[in-house]
Amino acid sequence: MSENVENVLRMENVTMQFGGVVAVSNLSLEVNRGEIVALIGPNGAGKTTAFNCVTGVYQPTNGRIEFMGQTIVRNHPSGKMAKEYLGENAKRYTTDYDGLDDPDTLAALAELDAKCAAEAAAAEDAVVRQLDAEKDEEKRKALYAGAEAKKAEIESAYAQPRAELLNRLNERAADRIELVRSMDPYAMTNRVFAPTPDKITYLGIARTFQNIRLFSALSVLDNVLIAKHMRAKQNVFSATLRLNRKEERRMREEAVALLEEQNLAHLKDEIAGSLPYGIQRRLEIARALATNPKLLLLDEPAAGMNPQETQELGEYIVKLRREHDLTILMIEHHMDLVMQFSDRIYVIDFGKLISAGTPDVVKADKRVIDAYLGVVE
Ligand SMILES: Nc1ncnc2c1ncn2[C@@H]1O[C@H](COP(=O)(O)OP(=O)(O)O)[C@@H](O)[C@H]1O
Ligand SMILES: [Mg+2]
């Protein structure tokens, strides 16, 4: 491995506890740019749960997750886990979102906003008092209009100092500002940062599911288009999305191009649910690619496939990595696929890492043979 390996995903001491079950226990792993890494282990080992922590489905009980060098998930010990982890990791897991906190500027911003709101409210009150006494409809309308104009005037008077304060915050967080803007305004405060799955997708992590999740009553093309729309929605800062016709057409073309590339174009009008299982799995990958990910998480992509389909899938994954500049972390039970196509493997059992390394190293590891490989077909 070269020295300037770019780290794409890093999980640090991630723990996920459900009631009494510790599904993932102090798991640390990393995936570097361009790697195909496998996460393997017996059923119930915690593999899917680990994915769910990365993709924002669960907030881990403890630990930290970095994507492209930026912290995307960080939790601090609370409740029962606090006692367990306080000693070892007390320093590491604080509620501060490092680098982004600037209490003085945040306080100034809050003060400014409060002043602006108070002035606007006073202006409005003044008008309301006049409205109470005014019966003439035209004059009432004029009063309303005047009140709106006055409020706009007050707000615009505050716009400049407000922008300056925001800039000061932005400068402090220059390296993260893109992340902050796109994800979560609260990241600038000292709240625990817990992004939701849509934000994780927006950042560049896409996944497929152990149990296929397609819109089975919709066409193949619609399935890809919907994924594209979800991505576009995150690109604009308003909750509503109205695409103009040009954008709509562009998205359609991109979706068709994606399907062509995956050799699925001839099936674009087929109903997704009617397709053979292997094809549905590939459509799920196409959907994931529609969001332009940097990291692709595949949860048992070969489940239910015969040996030939499995081999083809492996080759397909290698091709995807090359053509989309992707980094891949996959959960798999097909050992032929794992051993042939992974650069490195992590093995977990009962939520804990029991081995890691190249396929040859892992294959020969007695702990792995005892816990897992010994029982695989
Ligand atoms: N949402 C949940 N609530 C409670 N227990 C869960 C939940 N998700 C997973 N588990 C438990 O966590 C353990 C690991 O499950 P999972 O991550 O699905 O394993 P794997 O994908 O390796 O087969 C299992 O014991 C499972 O029952
Ligand atoms: Mg699973």
Long-range own/partner contacts, residues 43-48 (CB < 8 A, 24 or more apart): 45/348, 45/349, 45/350, 45/351, 46/16, 46/348, 46/350, 46/351, 47/299, 47/331, 47/348, 48/210, 48/299, 48/331
What gap in Å lies between CA 60 and CA 17, rounded to an integer? 8
Average pLDDT of span 88-115: 60
Determine contact, residues 287/227, Cβ cutoff 8 Å: yes
* Host H or E run for residue 71: strand 70-75
Note the pLDDT of residue 143: 86
Percent of the chain with pLDDT over 90: 39
Average pLDDT of span 81-96: 41
Residues with Cβ within 8 Å of 241's Cβ and at least 6 positions away in sequence, in order, are 229, 232, 233
User: How many angstroms separate the alpha carbon of residue 22 from the centre of ligand 1?
Assistant: 9
Note the pLDDT of residue 335: 94
43 Cβ below 6 A of ligand 1: yes
The secondary structure of the chain in percent helix, strand, coil, rounded to multiples of 5, reads 55, 20, 30
Q: Where are the alpha helices (DSSP H) in 192-306?
A: 197-203, 220-235, 245-261, 277-289
Ligand nearest to the CA of 18: 1
Digit-coded pLDDT (tens) for 234-246: 443 333 345 567 7
What gap in Å lies between CA 310 and CA 278, rounded to an integer? 9
Q: Is residue 141 predicted with pLDDT exceeding 60?
A: yes
Give the ligand 1 atom nearest the CA of 351.
Answer: 14
- Nearest protein Cα to ligand 1, atom 6: 18
Query: Three-class SS of residue 335?
Result: helix
User: How many angstroms separate the alpha carbon of residue 368 from the centre of ligand 1?
Assistant: 20
39 Cβ below 6 A of ligand 1: no
What gap in Å lies between CA 11 and CA 127, rounded to an integer? 57
356 Cβ below 6 A of ligand 1: no
Closest to 121 measured CA to CA, from 143, 150, 144, 141: 150
This prediction has a pTM of 0.70
Note the pLDDT of residue 79: 41
End-to-end CA distance of the chain: 32
> Across the strands, what pairs with 12?
64
Dig out the tokens for 17 from the structure: 């506890």
Q: To the nearest whole number, what is the mean pLDDT of the chain?
A: 80
120 Cβ below 6 A of ligand 1: no
Phi, psi of 321 (to 5 degrees): -55, -45
Average pLDDT of span 193-198: 64
Digit-coded pLDDT (tens) for 66-84: 998 887 887 654 444 444 4
Note the pLDDT of residue 375: 61
User: Mutate which of 21, 22, 59, 353 to test ligand 1's pocket (most atoms within 8 Å of Cβ)?
Assistant: 21
Average pLDDT of span 338-344: 97
211 Cβ below 6 A of ligand 1: no
Measured torsion, CA atoms of residues 219, 220, 222, 228, in degrees rounded to the nearest 10: 170
What gap in Å lies between CA 364 and CA 134, rounded to an integer? 89
18 Cβ below 6 A of ligand 1: yes
355 Cβ below 6 A of ligand 1: no
Note the pLDDT of residue 131: 82
Between 5 and 373, name the one with better pLDDT. 373
